[in-house]
Structure 1
């Protein structure tokens, strides 16, 4: 066969030539239109299969194909029926197109393009809508996932053929098809800026008010990473309500026939309740130590690994915990470990023991089996008057996403879960699902993000008093009633958005008003947040709000079906299928099917099957993983001639694939049995020069960040000790510290004031990271009732060469 056009590294043609993406953001809702352009450059008809990621909470609402001048719009059908129709069409020689969501994870889709004749082109149009999450710095985050990392399949887990569909993957830098991406942003409030992890052309404003703007990727972009946009509005924390008219052709009284309202609420808590953060709680940290955590966190800093950044962050978290709390640290891979048999009281001794173990953590535990450690944590009895707060760090690549989220939901009454997706390709379905069902908050750490800043915001949320007795009261005209589509609100955090969707049944008069009141208790104090809104439908919203509301309801019903597999579950499944078909929104029980029934001749001949390669983050063990785990594995390779992949590649591959650009490989369903494979001796010898280079650099580790070094020296109570380690972190000698100390001051007081001065003078850009441990230190100092504090601050400024005022230190 003569190869022409796009080919994979295995010399197979790639029928997907390009992807064009148009993003439209209205306030905090995104509509994404992707056009995938296919061309069969072979001499036989083919079937092309493309497995790709989408945001986990996206509502796919349109799927169509254009062949020549023929436009075919897909319809939503029950999944098994859609598959049968697709197979029947192919066997009849008809062109057919099938789009279906994975039954295991809502952020993975399979697109099948069947019976594409020789020389024929086809354009596939895919449209979805999604809400944009608010980040730590108030930016709205949109992510276009390019990277589909391998979803680790736990040992002994079953799965249908559909659940273990083959994914053909190549390194992200070798993807042969191109991407063009443009975005249009509009909001009632001015757009202050748009940032990205990829190069952008300058932001273009479309009006004087700067409420509309366009932006697009700069030329030459390679589809080698997730495209992330951060959109910033002025006065972003304004509550809003959007009422959308129903579909004219739909029956009144149905979801699509009635108006639907989307409420965006930002509760503001009373200052009296927020004046002091909680000093109690059981803090459980669950750290991913699978092989992929040895990968680099970003393209810009290849030397910075995910596990290294997570270790530093965990150190900061441990140092920032309040006295009087309890804590424990778990880590997991193919198996799991914990530092203490059960959560222990926070003290200098337990903190020192935990920090020592954390600093030894490497990405050496194989796969990503998160379910078992979660079960172990939930089986531990809760400590009275110490509310449990669970922090989960993972690069989020598991095949049993729905099972994991279901477990968190079952235990949501006993804890709050804060989740962190690390690196490119982290599963948004897993990370967002853990936080939503665990009444917590999700954060994504990609590109050049500092993990510490985002994680410390979540710790502040965890230290906020728990909001209880949350209820919603509607005040509507007599002839109008509201049916809430969203699950009940179980979590409220200061300054964080809560979205509520509701179907409005009945007719309202012109200019009618409604209001909604959220009542709750915070630190024993009754509070409320109220929003008044017009019942008049907004213009030009299409059916976006209806489809988002339908998506929320579908997800809730799917969760209900998983909890009851009996007759009730079957009834719920039927309800999901009916809602999905009527709203045109995808679900795990339905699929989009389009068949070209034009009067053309049937397509003759056997179909050639082509898997379109998906980008996977390549993790070069020797370039990116200067960790102890890599060193240990190299020793193992030398002694035994065997290879344990450490950096994201759970699937079988040759050893040479880690050292030269890998060929296309299958990367979807794997077990821990595939983690150890024999190499032939010639292959090993060929690579010996790489071992030598690695070993030569093995001991050239970078000096530790002075900030993290200073943090690591703080005691559980909040103070620092006057010792050589502190002097080194401050860039001074022990003699200089001793000679500058005022005579009547205790060593710990002097050391703690010096540490605080250094933080305020030299790390102002990272204040969010050290603010909590600084408050703890200031509290300790006040408790000492030390004399001559002003003299100490003056002496400390002279020693460190800065001008920090005593009032800045919280003293």
Structure 2
């Protein structure tokens, strides 16, 4: 096998995007794409193609589609003529406001070696912004983990000037120097040391993959059940190699939700959305009305008929079900997926499916209801009158049903009539296989292979014998090797073979030099540093020239928020005044505010609103709210607050136009 930097082929990918309303924009945080809107004069249709020359997809292709009305509550029904069933899909991005509650907030940060470079820098900056955004009445802690773990505080501490300053310094000095990735022990410690008298929200940030996902998920699930909905876990997956299975599974078990950021994305916006939801009380007692028909779910399916003795296999670890577990309730005429309705959070897409058996018709309005700490909640969503034909929505629902069965949260596991009964592995396997085969879905028990149906056609010897292939190698990564040691450079340019490895391992010079593993690690490090596209300004770079430029940079926002105290105030200082090109308090006499502390507060609020909100409103909104609360404490009257703020906004507008 030989290597070549050139290739005669590239991957071509064309995607047609059809929406129910006008497509506003399509972006990709993972790849360079070319987008064509308004195809054939239809504003609802767009085409996407790759705008870069690549030979294969090294990572997931992510598309972010913005379309009018995409977040509106919608309910669709699909009829599958083959199965003679209806499947309803309910989707919305909720918008509602409920009062905040006093909470414990614990940030569990991956500091393993794989976080080196861009990922740990993102985590550090995001943690700093989170610390500035915390509500005044919360308790918080920071747990760092890798092959070992430690915590900033032995127990979560009240949010104060002292704890905030210590945590901020900790975040600024954070580095990826904790070795490997072990998540179970730090999470176990976090749950065991959390408060029992208030809701706890845990934020897990990781870029890794682990071998014991099931064990971690079971830990999260059991801990959440112990706290009875007062424990939630939110997870952020960082980078292109993170385990989606891990990140999504722990968030589902922890009644939170998962988000992912690629190497080219910022994570602050996404995790701040999580923080906003974490300080709101959990919503409970969800219910969805899918049909108006009165159904009797009284049919029991006998898994082991009484007139026939149970046959015990000579090759099975499954014990014979006890007599009281012979009848398992399985005949659900309404199969909701997921069976346990996931928590609903503002700004996070909510999707639930329901397969209705033959003869069961959906109601014209799907009703979603729940109970919050502030009172009952309800939403009626009209069912789209046009029934879709096919099995696409059925397949999505079946995937969720399989997920429920695999995670032990299906209707078979959780239905009250099956409580205390022995559910054998073979029964669950049978249900998963049935769904997998019916809807062509891969699972832990089902897989599919392609079969050549050409019959007896002979395959020539030339087609089955191996031959030399020219394998293209990305030039950028090859260039990264040139800064490595001379030995590594020379070896990297040679074709790889098992013989060369054996010869190398036997040579005396190899025994005296560094190991191949060490040099391979150096090579990987160089490649990673070369490919790292995360770009940010060093802390030492002066931002004076860009403090009022539009659109602003995120580094400008971070620098400005350094002036804010833990309670939201912006205290007078020479540095604060110099941000606006002034020397002292007297230079702001034209605003007409005599109290220096109030002046700094309204100036900061006006600056955030006028300069930052257009681009970074979500990133700085919680800091803005804290500052406004502090201003109200100082002024004590809403009318005076608004008057002072308007004066400052007028001044900032003129200053920005200078």
Whole-Å separation in 2 of the counterparts to 1:196 and 1:707: 24
Whole-Å separation in 2 of the counterparts to 1:356 and 1:368: 24
Mark the CA change 1:655 to 1:732 in structure 2 (over 3 Å): closer, same or farther.
Answer: farther
What residue number does 2:324 align with?
none
Aligned positions, number: 561
Whole-Å separation in 1 of the counterparts to 2:470 and 2:254: 36
Alpha carbons 2:365, 2:383 under 8 Å: kept: yes
Whole-Å separation in 2 of the counterparts to 1:225 and 1:798: 48
Mark the CA change 1:335 to 1:417 in structure 2 (over 3 Å): closer, same or farther.
Answer: same
Mark the CA change 1:779 to 1:589 in structure 2 (over 3 Å): closer, same or farther.
Answer: same
Alpha carbons 1:186, 1:213 under 8 Å: kept: yes
SS in 2 for 1:594: coil
Q: Which structure 2 residues correspond to residues 539-618 of structure 1 after superposition, within 5 A? A: 539=389, 542-560=390-408, 568-596=424-452, 598-600=455-457
What residue number does 2:24 align with?
192
Mark the CA change 1:559 to 1:445 in structure 2 (over 3 Å): closer, same or farther.
Answer: same
Mark the CA change 1:440 to 1:607 in structure 2 (over 3 Å): closer, same or farther.
Answer: farther
Mark the CA change 1:661 to 1:611 in structure 2 (over 3 Å): closer, same or farther.
Answer: same
What residue number does 2:199 align with?
387
Whole-Å separation in 1 of the counterparts to 2:217 and 2:472: 26
Shift of 1:349: 0.8
Shift of 1:708: 1.5
Whole-Å separation in 2 of the counterparts to 1:739 and 1:536: 66
SS in 2 for 1:419: strand
Indicate which of 182, 205, 208 corresponds to 1:369. 182
1:772 maps onto 2:617 in alignment: no
Alpha carbons 1:182, 1:217 under 8 Å: kept: yes
What residue number does 1:755 align with?
604
Shift of 1:348: 0.7
Where relative contact order (Cα < 8 A, 6+ residues apart) is larger, the structure is 1
What residue number does 1:54 align with?
none
Whole-Å separation in 1 of the counterparts to 2:238 and 2:280: 24
Indicate which of 174, 183, 189 corresponds to 2:15. 183
SS in 2 for 1:237: coil
SS in 2 for 1:772: helix
What residue number does 2:273 align with?
457
Shift of 1:456: 1.8
Whole-Å separation in 1 of the counterparts to 2:287 and 2:269: 32
Shift of 1:591: 1.9
Whole-Å separation in 2 of the counterparts to 1:524 and 1:792: 31
Shift of 1:243: 2.3
Shift of 1:495: 4.4
1:227 maps onto 2:61 in alignment: yes
Indicate which of 497, 500, 504 corresponds to 2:356. 504
Query: Deviation digits for residues 313-362 of structure 1, max 9, x if unmatched?
Result: 11111111111111001111111121001111111111111111111101
Mark the CA change 1:508 to 1:337 in structure 2 (over 3 Å): closer, same or farther.
Answer: closer
Alpha carbons 2:340, 2:409 under 8 Å: kept: no
Indicate which of 203, 215, 218 corresponds to 2:51. 218
Mark the CA change 1:776 to 1:534 in structure 2 (over 3 Å): closer, same or farther.
Answer: closer
Alpha carbons 1:761, 1:802 under 8 Å: kept: no
Q: Which structure 2 residues correspond to residues 262-273 of structure 1 after superposition, within 5 A? A: 262-269=89-96, 273=97
What residue number does 2:78 align with?
244
1:317 maps onto 2:130 in alignment: yes
Mark the CA change 1:550 to 1:622 in structure 2 (over 3 Å): closer, same or farther.
Answer: same
Alpha carbons 2:23, 2:37 under 8 Å: kept: no
Query: Deviation digits for residues 397-436 of structure 1, max 9, x if unmatched?
Result: 3343343334333333342222222222333323333333
Mark the CA change 1:731 to 1:607 in structure 2 (over 3 Å): closer, same or farther.
Answer: farther
Structure with a larger share of its residues in helix: 2
Query: Deviation digits for residues 1-53 of structure 1, max 9, x if unmatched?
Result: xx4xxx558xxxxxxxxxxxxxxxxxxxxxxxxxxxxxxxxxxxxxxxxxxxx
1:294 maps onto 2:146 in alignment: no
Shift of 1:572: 1.4
Whole-Å separation in 1 of the counterparts to 2:106 and 2:475: 30
Whole-Å separation in 1 of the counterparts to 2:240 and 2:475: 7
Alpha carbons 1:183, 1:215 under 8 Å: kept: yes
TM-score, structure 2 length as denominator? Answer: 0.73
SS in 1 for 2:88: strand
Alpha carbons 1:554, 1:587 under 8 Å: kept: yes
Mark the CA change 1:187 to 1:786 in structure 2 (over 3 Å): closer, same or farther.
Answer: closer
Mark the CA change 1:794 to 1:238 in structure 2 (over 3 Å): closer, same or farther.
Answer: closer
Structure 2 gaps, min length 5: 297-332, 414-419, 499-509, 530-536, 543-554
Structure 1 gaps, min length 5: 10-172, 249-255, 296-304, 624-636, 642-653, 667-676, 805-811
What residue number does 1:711 align with?
561
SS in 1 for 2:132: helix
Indicate which of 529, 545, 548 corresponds to 2:379. 529
Whole-Å separation in 1 of the counterparts to 2:7 and 2:113: 23
Whole-Å separation in 2 of the counterparts to 1:419 and 1:534: 34
SS in 1 for 2:16: strand
Query: Deviation digits for residues 243-281 of structure 1, max 9, x if unmatched?
Result: 222352xxxxxxx55332222244453xxx53xx41511
Moved more, 453-462 or 744-753: 744-753
Mark the CA change 1:682 to 1:551 in structure 2 (over 3 Å): closer, same or farther.
Answer: closer
Indicate which of 493, 507, 531 corresponds to 2:345. 493
Shift of 1:210: 1.9
Shift of 1:585: 0.7
What residue number does 1:401 align with?
213
Query: Deviation digits for residues 631-675 of structure 1, max 9, x if unmatched?
Result: xxxxxx9xxx9xxxxxxxxxxxx9948997899899xxxxxxxxx
Shift of 1:230: 1.0
Whole-Å separation in 2 of the counterparts to 1:763 and 1:792: 16
Query: Deviation digits for residues 275-320 of structure 1, max 9, x if unmatched?
Result: xx4151111111111222224xxxxxxxxx1211211111111111
Whole-Å separation in 1 of the counterparts to 2:384 and 2:42: 24
Alpha carbons 2:124, 2:172 under 8 Å: kept: yes
Mark the CA change 1:280 to 1:679 in structure 2 (over 3 Å): closer, same or farther.
Answer: farther
Structure with a larger share of its residues in strand: 1
Whole-Å separation in 2 of the counterparts to 1:745 and 1:247: 75
Whole-Å separation in 2 of the counterparts to 1:209 and 1:364: 53
1:424 maps onto 2:240 in alignment: yes
Mark the CA change 1:791 to 1:476 in structure 2 (over 3 Å): closer, same or farther.
Answer: closer
Mark the CA change 1:403 to 1:205 in structure 2 (over 3 Å): closer, same or farther.
Answer: farther
Whole-Å separation in 1 of the counterparts to 2:475 and 2:230: 36
Whole-Å separation in 1 of the counterparts to 2:429 and 2:395: 18
Whole-Å separation in 2 of the counterparts to 1:601 and 1:285: 62
Whole-Å separation in 2 of the counterparts to 1:612 and 1:560: 48
What residue number does 2:104 align with?
282
